[in-house]
Structure 1
Amino acid sequence: MVRVFARFRKFFTARPARPVQPAGHDRPPQHNVFEAAATYVAASVDDDWDRIDEAAGWVAPDALVFGINELACRAVIALARERNEPVESVARGLLGLPGTEPSRPI
């Protein structure tokens, strides 16, 4: 019986908290997937390999791919709305592919 209470006491005993560092003290900045994607794509356009490598290191590779995909989708949608053209036509045009059957604009 004493062992049971000892386990409970050990489990519920307060543990020391991990020390919290004030912002900006010996800690690299935290970046989210969308910041990484935006920086990566902008650096790619500028052919800035240092920034490309830096942005690629901010998040996991699969997260970066997700962010770049999301950025591309949003950009094509915005451009299609601006041009009052179908999304697929805009996407195909940006890639230099032949047109498709007309569909409704977004």
Structure 2
Amino acid sequence: MFDTIRRYAGRLRTATPARAEGAPERRAHNLFEAAAVYVAARAEDDQDRIEEAAAWVSPEALSFGVSELACRAVVALARERDESPDEVARALLGLPAA
């Protein structure tokens, strides 16, 4: 499953734009890096970093990356807490148990 996601994510990477003469070289950011920085910046309420990370990839790619990060975080927390992913997701959102 993760191989499929990695292949899909590889196609969504942004290309490095052509740089002007004398301008510093910029590297391309992948969607998972953008999602990680974006979510961390949102958690810290850092608007500058939010906007910077959002500009690294398309909105669709960022959405996919944030969704994948959320899934992985819920699975990791569920394993750590020895609970189901459903219980963890509901608890994180403040929802009553199903």
| TM-score bucket of the superposed structures, by smaller chain | 0.7 to 0.9
The amino acid of 1:44's aligned partner reads R
Q: Percent identity at matched positions?
A: 62
Q: If the length of structure 1 is used for normalisation, what is the TM-score?
A: 0.69
Q: Residues of 2 paired with 1:41 and 1:30: CA distance? A: 19
Structure 1 residues 35-54: Cα deviation after superposition (integer angstroms, max 9, x where no partner): 00000000001100000000
What root-mean-square deviation, in Å, do the aligned CA atoms of Structure 1 and Structure 2 show?
Answer: 1.4
Q: Which residue of 2 aligns with 1:4?
A: none
Q: Which residue of 1 aligns with 2:9?
A: none
Structure 1 residues 16-37: Cα deviation after superposition (integer angstroms, max 9, x where no partner): xxxxx9xxx7432210000000
Q: Residues of 2 paired with 1:58 and 1:27: CA distance? A: 15
Q: Which residue of 2 aligns with 1:27?
A: 25
Q: Which residue of 2 aligns with 1:37?
A: 35
Q: Which residue of 2 aligns with 1:74?
A: 72
Q: What is the aligned residue count?
A: 77
Q: Residues of 2 paired with 1:29 and 1:46: CA distance? A: 25
Q: Residues of 2 paired with 1:54 and 1:74: CA distance? A: 23
Q: Which residue of 2 aligns with 1:6?
A: none
Runs of 4+ in structure 1 over 6 Å off: none
Q: Residues of 2 paired with 1:83 and 1:26: CA distance? A: 45
Q: Which residue of 2 aligns with 1:91?
A: 89
Unaligned runs of 5+ residues in structure 1 are 1-20, 101-106
1:83 is displaced (CA, Å) by 0.5
Q: If the length of structure 2 is used for normalisation, what is the TM-score?
A: 0.75
